[in-house]
């Protein structure tokens, strides 16, 4: 399991797990398990989550980089 900033960023952006699930097109269960470090999601799932966080941003707001939300991941 690797650390992530998902829960902190979701809460600071004012999103519920349900809202993020809708923006990310993945289940609330997967998001919850990822936030609690119970599940090590695939890179595809992680990218959907980051895209969902960014989709929820208002126009002009700075978006998140993948590496910021999932910093300890080693991607090739």
Q: What is the CATH number of the domain that holds 55?
A: 1.10.260.40
1 found inside a domain: no
Question: What tokens were used for 17?
Answer: 């797990």
Q: What is the pLDDT of residues 10-68, one digit of tens each?
A: 999 999 999 999 999 999 999 999 999 998 899 999 999 999 999 999 889 999 999 99
Give the chain's radius of gyration (CA, Å): 11
CB 5 within 8 A of CB 45: no
74 found inside a domain: no
Confidence at residue 25, expressed as pLDDT on a 0 to 100 scale: 97
CA 25 to chain centre: 11
pLDDT score of 76 more than 70: no
- Rounded alpha-carbon distances, angstroms, from residue 2 to 27, 36, 46, 65: 20, 11, 12, 17
How many domains does the chain contain in total?
A: 1
Of residues 72 and 44, more confidence is placed in: 44
- Model confidence at 3, pLDDT cuts 50, 70, 90, reads confident
Range of the domain at 22: 6-69
Question: What tokens were used for 63?
Answer: 């978006």
């Amino acid at each position: 399991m690797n650390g992530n900033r998902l829960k902190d960023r979701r809460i600071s952006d004012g999103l519920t797990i349900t809202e993020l699930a809708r923006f990310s097109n993945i289940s609330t269960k997967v998001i919850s398990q990822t936030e609690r470090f119970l599940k090590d999601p695939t890179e595809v799932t992680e990218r959907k989550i980051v895209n969902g966080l960014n989709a929820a941003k208002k126009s002009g707001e700075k978006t998140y980089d993948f590496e910021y939300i999932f910093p300890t991941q080693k991607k090739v």
